[in-house]
Structure 1
Amino acid sequence: MSAGGYFGRALVVDVGDHEVTSAPLPLEDAVLRAYLGGVGLGTWLMHRLAPAGVDPLAPEAPLAFVFSPLVGTPLTTSAKFAVVAKSPLTGLLTDALASSRFAIAGKLTGNDAIVVRGRAAELSVLLVDGDGARLEPAPELAGLAAAQAEAAVRERFGRGWQTAAIGPAGEQLVHYATISHDGRHAGRGGLGAVLGAKNVKAILVRSATRVEIADQTAVLAAAKDLRTRSFGPATAKYRELGTLANLLAFNAVSTLPTRNFTAATFADAPRLAAEELHELRGVARNSCASCAIGCEHIYSRKGGGQQRMEYENVFALGPLCGVSDPDDVFAASARCDELGLDTISAGGTIAWAMECVERGLIDAPWLKFGDGAALLRALDLIGAREGLGELLAQGSRRAAEVVGNGSIAFAPQVKGLELPGYEPRTLQAMALGLAVNARGADHNRSGAYEADLSGELDRLDGGPAHVAAAVGTEDRAAVMDSMILCKFLRGVFEDPFTEWAALLRSVTGWDVDAAELRATARRIVLAKRVFNQREGATAADDTLPPRMLETPLELGSGRVAALTAERLQAMVAGYYSERGLDEEGRPAPEAEAALLLGG
């Protein structure tokens, strides 16, 4: 019998041969306790179910929707799920988190994970509920945006189903296609392409049961306390202006990547800032399912309609591409939603292509920095994989390998994943976090920028303190992504591991404490690294693009920000030491054996 908060099983569905297996999670509580759920359990499942060296778009490559012990409880922000697979963009492990009613309904099908394998004979949808899983042909959904597909399947199957779907980019196997639901996206690493390769347009889930909780009274008390704290100063920025509030702040401290990371400030940043847009265009504020924070800010669009805007999509489709007109950035963000494209990888790849055009390496004179119409045209070509879009659909790293002529030096990626909106040369704890993270250039699995911006260390001079910050934020993220709780809550916990352990005790009944959770965090981080090494990753991948290590940034008033290869290598070595890894970034055999990955 599994602990409270779990069903103790994963549903594995082969959409090619229609085989459905309800698989008990081996070692029952031992594995669940070791990996918790979400990203942690998804990582363990990939070790067990993904054949070594598998092509991410092959039928035998698994795609896992993974839930957590907190889903379905009244704890704020707990309605989240993880999607985990081998990435077509990086060739390594990837995961993405999202919030919606899909998380609750998916868990209450009676499974801790739903794993999809195989390839359907025709475009189909997969339905999962208390009766198991069944595949239904749905050729009429071809080419629809995810939101349109959601509406169509609800009309066909009923409103009791919750849906996660891909857009046209997923069907076309664009390497950074997303999986969408309720207007939100499991965005990074090309998970939409993995689902598209299985000829599955959508997954539908319907609640069929309930999950037992060990101490309902304690959970209700914790939920009331956490909800109260979620209205405090730690989340005020997100409630008042949303993540877009970061734009002017980052611009002021020269950490807003601009024109493909050739600069760290954008003169027209105020035109795109939350402060101005809130006054001129703000129309609503919304929350994810089971969330008390309400960080989602919705703005009016030129010509009608509304658009949810976040810092990362504004950065990637605005300053990174030199585009300053908010109407163009809004339209580009909406186009990414319609096509099902990760905005960070789309913007980063297009910005790289714009620089290639400037240098005469790509013959597309229409694709210029600052041209909003060109940005939209490029997105359409990517979504259809036509013309230049066929090249750009592969992401900046693979496109640079095709174009050659040294263009890889300014491709804004780590391990194939495009960089988010944080300038590594002026945020050097974050630089390390981006370099070593298993997913690639990632601000959600390694939020070391918080330490850089705290004022407690010199963000322009990386060293041992930056290593400690990177390790600490990576550990905290590993637990939050596996329990799962929203990162916007991170500031409300005074003693995070102790408080998270208390939440787990009330839900599961385990006698877990802070020390155990710290060990769990390190186990999850290490298991990700071991998976990547199995797939061919080496220490040479723990680095940044040459541009970041060879070209200093002029900050004005005679100030320069420089991150040398030697400094980064020293921090990486420190990270390896802190993680108990050898000089090649590998764990000792006994440490790897303790991860419970074999057998």
Structure 2
Amino acid sequence: MVAGGYFGRALVVDVGGSTATGTALELDDRVLRGYLGGVGLGTWLLHRLAPPGTDPLAPAAPLAFVFSPLVGTPLTTSAKFAVVARSPLTGLLTDALASSRFAIAGKLTGHDAIVVRGRADELSVVLVDADGVRLEPCPELAGLPAADAETALTARFGRGWNSAAIGPAGERGVRFATISHDGRHAGRGGLGAVLGAKNLKAVLVRAGTKAAVADAPAVLAAARDLRERSFGPATKKYRELGTLANLLAFNAVSTLPTRNFTAATFDGAHRLAAEELHELRGVARNSCASCSIGCEHIYSRKGGGSQRMEYENVFALGPMCGVSDPDDVFAASARCDELGIDTISAGGTIAWAMECAERGLLDAPWLRFGDGAALLRALDLIGSRSGVGELLAQGSRHAAGVVGGGSIDFAPQVKGLELPGYEPRTLQAMALGLAVNSRGADHNRSGAYEADLSGELDRLDGGDPHVAAAVATEDRAAVMDSMILCKFLRGVFTEPFDEWAALLRPVTGWDVDADELRATARRIVLAKRVFNLRAGATAADDTLPARMLRTPLQLASGRAATLTATTLQAMVDGYYRARGLDAAGRPDPAALPDLLLPDPHPADPQPADPA
């Protein structure tokens, strides 16, 4: 008997030529309970379906859209899904979360995940519903932004279908291309390039069934309670100003990366701050599907129109590139959406290129910090993969390997993924989290900055407390990203593992408790690391750019923020011990059976039953 909230199967869609076939991969209760859904189940599926050594952009490389037991319930923020694949940017396991109606419709096709493999002969879309799978050509959509493609697909197939689509950058194989839906993006790691390599413009889903829960009245009661708590002080910042509220706060404590991490404060920060933009340009608030928080803040753009702005895209396209004009930053963010590229990787790669140009390492004299027109030009070149854009479309790590001249030392990346808007030298728990995370430089799978900014440890002096904080936040993220719940709810839970177990019990019918969820978190984190080790990762990858480890930051207080290689390595060693890893970052073989990992390709999935 399948637990509540699940269907007990993934749909494996094989695309070839002008057709697509679907086969069912059964998921037993042990796997579902051991990995939950979302990022956790996606990790298990990649272990099961990704042939070792397969290039991320090869037809055989699987791309998984993974749902969770909470999707389709009235629990706030639960309309989320994960996209999981091997990243063409890093070569490692990557995942991206997004909220939209696609999550609900995708699950209600009757599957806990939809995995796509193969390649179509011409640009096409895959359609999945309760009746099966089909492939439809769509050459007329070539080059369209994802939003325009979604509009065209709705007109063609009907309003009952929900699309996850790519923009022109995904079609052209930009290695940090996104997958978009409802104006939101599965952004990091180049998942749009993976879909584009399959010659697919979009995956469409249509609901056709229901997912039963074990105790519907209890789920409804839990949903009412969580919704009420979601209006409390823990989410006030997101409701009133959105994530952009972080900009001035981070600038004040010298943790706002500026001009490719050469500084941690930005003189023009006030021009981009939520407080000022809210008064001058704020036009609306919006919410993701099934969300009661409403963190989206939408601002008017010069010349008409509006743009949703978040901290990360403002940081990456503003201070990181030295650009302070909000019109330029708004236009750049809109251009990223139109092209379908990750704003963090785009901004980080362009900032690196700006520094290379100023050092004479890159023949692009027009590319200068603070020049909004240059920023927009660079984005267009990346999207078209022309001129210097052909190099930058590969990301900063690959580009530094081509340019040389020591530019890898200031390429703002970990494991190939560009750093988010957190200065590691002034947030040293976060520094560890960025260094060891399986996805690369990432703030969503390792939110250790929370501990740095809590005042409970010295954020400028990394040590054992920072290790404990990094492990704890990584564990919490693993569960939230697998259940799936929005991270903006994290402050709502006072005893998170207990409270998450209380949400799972009435949905699934399992007698799950906090200790089991802690073990689940450790399993998911370790399974990711095992995948990456098999993909060629080593302990040498668990580090930060040389700039962060060699160059102190002078703070306004007069104190220097210094993070040495010795300090970071001591924290990495402590992290390994806490995770039960050896000195090379490898797990004890005795721990592997608990991961419940299958051998890749133990047997072919069986044909799906349309009923």
Deviation at 1:23, TM superposition (A): 2.2
1:392-414 residue CA offsets vs partner (Å, 9 max, x unmatched) = 00000000000001000000000
Letter in 2 for 1:498: D
Once residues 22 and 392 of structure 1 are traced to their aligned partners in structure 2, the CA distance between those partners, rounded to angstroms, is 38
Once residues 21 and 324 of structure 1 are traced to their aligned partners in structure 2, the CA distance between those partners, rounded to angstroms, is 50
1:40-72 residue CA offsets vs partner (Å, 9 max, x unmatched) = 000000001001111000000000000000000
Letter in 2 for 1:284: A
Aligned to 1:22: 23
Gaps of 5+ in 2: 600-611
Q: Secondary structure at 1:119's aligned position in 2? A: strand
1:255 aligns with 2:255: yes
1:537-590 residue CA offsets vs partner (Å, 9 max, x unmatched) = 000000000000000001134210000000000000000000000000010111
Aligned to 1:521: 521
Aligned to 2:5: 5
Aligned to 2:62: 62
Aligned to 2:574: 574
Q: Secondary structure at 1:556's aligned position in 2? A: coil
Aligned to 1:459: 459
Aligned to 2:208: 208
Give the RMSD, CA atoms, in angstroms: 0.7
Aligned to 1:292: 292
The answer as to whether partners of 2:20 and 2:134 remain within 8 angstroms in 1 is no
Once residues 65 and 215 of structure 1 are traced to their aligned partners in structure 2, the CA distance between those partners, rounded to angstroms, is 27
Aligned to 1:102: 102
1:189-238 residue CA offsets vs partner (Å, 9 max, x unmatched) = 00000000000001110000000100001100000000000000000000
Once residues 164 and 55 of structure 1 are traced to their aligned partners in structure 2, the CA distance between those partners, rounded to angstroms, is 23
The answer as to whether partners of 1:9 and 1:22 remain within 8 angstroms in 2 is no
Aligned to 1:37: 37
Letter in 1 for 2:215: D
Once residues 153 and 344 of structure 2 are traced to their aligned partners in structure 1, the CA distance between those partners, rounded to angstroms, is 29
1:376-395 residue CA offsets vs partner (Å, 9 max, x unmatched) = 00000000000000000000
Aligned to 1:130: 130
The answer as to whether partners of 1:96 and 1:188 remain within 8 angstroms in 2 is yes
Aligned to 2:326: 326
Once residues 19 and 306 of structure 1 are traced to their aligned partners in structure 2, the CA distance between those partners, rounded to angstroms, is 38
Letter in 2 for 1:589: P
Once residues 484 and 556 of structure 2 are traced to their aligned partners in structure 1, the CA distance between those partners, rounded to angstroms, is 42
Once residues 522 and 360 of structure 2 are traced to their aligned partners in structure 1, the CA distance between those partners, rounded to angstroms, is 46
Letter in 2 for 1:462: G
Letter in 1 for 2:26: L
Letter in 2 for 1:442: D
Structure 1 runs of 4+ off > 2 angstroms? 17-26
Once residues 598 and 109 of structure 2 are traced to their aligned partners in structure 1, the CA distance between those partners, rounded to angstroms, is 28
1:339 aligns with 2:328: no
Once residues 376 and 284 of structure 2 are traced to their aligned partners in structure 1, the CA distance between those partners, rounded to angstroms, is 26
The answer as to whether partners of 2:22 and 2:133 remain within 8 angstroms in 1 is no
Aligned to 2:86: 86
1:307 aligns with 2:312: no
Deviation at 1:25, TM superposition (A): 2.8
Once residues 566 and 358 of structure 2 are traced to their aligned partners in structure 1, the CA distance between those partners, rounded to angstroms, is 30
1:276-334 residue CA offsets vs partner (Å, 9 max, x unmatched) = 00000000000000000000000000000000000000000000000000000000000
Letter in 1 for 2:346: A
Once residues 22 and 383 of structure 2 are traced to their aligned partners in structure 1, the CA distance between those partners, rounded to angstroms, is 34
Letter in 1 for 2:216: Q
1:110-169 residue CA offsets vs partner (Å, 9 max, x unmatched) = 000000000000000110001111000000000000000000000000111011100000
The answer as to whether partners of 1:257 and 1:315 remain within 8 angstroms in 2 is yes
Aligned to 1:367: 367
Letter in 1 for 2:478: A
Q: Secondary structure at 2:379's aligned position in 1? A: helix
The answer as to whether partners of 1:25 and 1:31 remain within 8 angstroms in 2 is no
Aligned to 1:474: 474
Q: Secondary structure at 2:120's aligned position in 1? A: coil
Letter in 2 for 1:287: S
1:495-543 residue CA offsets vs partner (Å, 9 max, x unmatched) = 0000000111010000000000000000000000000000000000000
Q: Secondary structure at 1:387's aligned position in 2? A: coil
Aligned to 1:537: 537
The answer as to whether partners of 1:385 and 1:393 remain within 8 angstroms in 2 is yes
Report 1:486-497 matches (<5 A). Answer: 486-497=486-497
The answer as to whether partners of 1:11 and 1:20 remain within 8 angstroms in 2 is no
Letter in 2 for 1:25: E
Gaps of 5+ in 1: none
The answer as to whether partners of 1:109 and 1:207 remain within 8 angstroms in 2 is yes
The answer as to whether partners of 1:57 and 1:88 remain within 8 angstroms in 2 is yes
Aligned to 1:193: 193
* Alignment: residue pair count: 598
Q: TM-score, normalised by structure 1?
A: 0.99
Deviation at 1:19, TM superposition (A): 5.0
Once residues 510 and 449 of structure 1 are traced to their aligned partners in structure 2, the CA distance between those partners, rounded to angstroms, is 33
Q: Secondary structure at 2:506's aligned position in 1? A: helix
> Percent of aligned pairs with the same residue?
84
Aligned to 2:381: 381
1:385–1:504 CA distance, 2 compared to 1 (3 A): same
